[in-house]
Amino acid sequence: MKITWLGHAAFRLDIAKASILIDPFLTGNPGFAGLDAKEATSGVTHILLTHGHGDHVGDTVQLANETGATVLANADLAAWLGSKRVEKLEMGNTGGTIGFDGFSVTFTNALHSSAQITEDGVSHALGNANGLMIHVEGDASILHMGDTDIFSDMKLIQELHQPDIGLVPIGDRFTMGGAVAALACQRFFDFKTAIPCHYGSFPIIDQTPEKFVLGMEGTRTKVLTPQAGISFEV
């Protein structure tokens, strides 16, 4: 599996049978500034969304129309995307699993909001926020936590899915901060690799992963702090 962080909470996963974007916030993302959008999105087959905030839905509509990628989102968000003429949609909700060729995605809990005020000034209720548990055939399993605080039922996600890799929000203010995120990883998960995200993009959230890295010292989980646009194998 090849993983590319695209800044903020956006990632690209390249697996044997698919190229997947998660929360493709590219336009207006300070963490993506200076990177090549065409390169980052070339050959994409699927777009997975954790929730409806603009810094996660991002360029989904444009990318779906340009690439023909299938978009997975919660039912309310998927219906709204359908009104924006996104054609290939797979909708689900918390606890549900959707299978694709070579991988499956389960909607897990996250503690966050999901409404979006769009350019028309209207607030749209876009379902519950989720994490996304991705099981890949013959490869590592990966949990994108979405935007969330710590919660004790994270232990059930571990028990049910046993994720190998965690994509962990650490930026504080809108998600758990680095120290709390480290506590969540140690108390409730048994990740082989933890990759921090949702930091270093906007000035009002933490700019570095230092608190998370310090909090994870001495654990058996490998913390991998990515550089935006640089792919790595796991």
Domains detected in the chain:
2-226 (3.60.15.10)
Cα 68-17-72 angle, rounded to 5 deg: 45
Pairing of strands 222-223, 18-22: unpaired
Asked whether 94 and 130 are in contact (CB, 8 A), the reply is yes
Helices 154-161, 178-188: crossing angle, 10 deg rounding: 50
pLDDT for res 121 = 84
Question: How would you class 158 by CB atoms within 10 Å of its CB: exposed for 0-12, middle for 13-18, buried for 19 or more?
Answer: middle
Read off the pLDDT of residues 157-203 as tens digits, 9 standing for 90 and up.
999 999 999 999 999 999 999 999 999 999 999 999 999 999 999 99
The rounded percent of the chain whose pLDDT value lies above 70 is 100
Residue 122 has pLDDT above 90, yes or no: no
> At a CB cut-off of 8 Å and minimum separation 6, what does 42 contact?
none
Read off the pLDDT of residues 52-75 as tens digits, 9 standing for 90 and up.
999 999 999 999 999 999 999 999
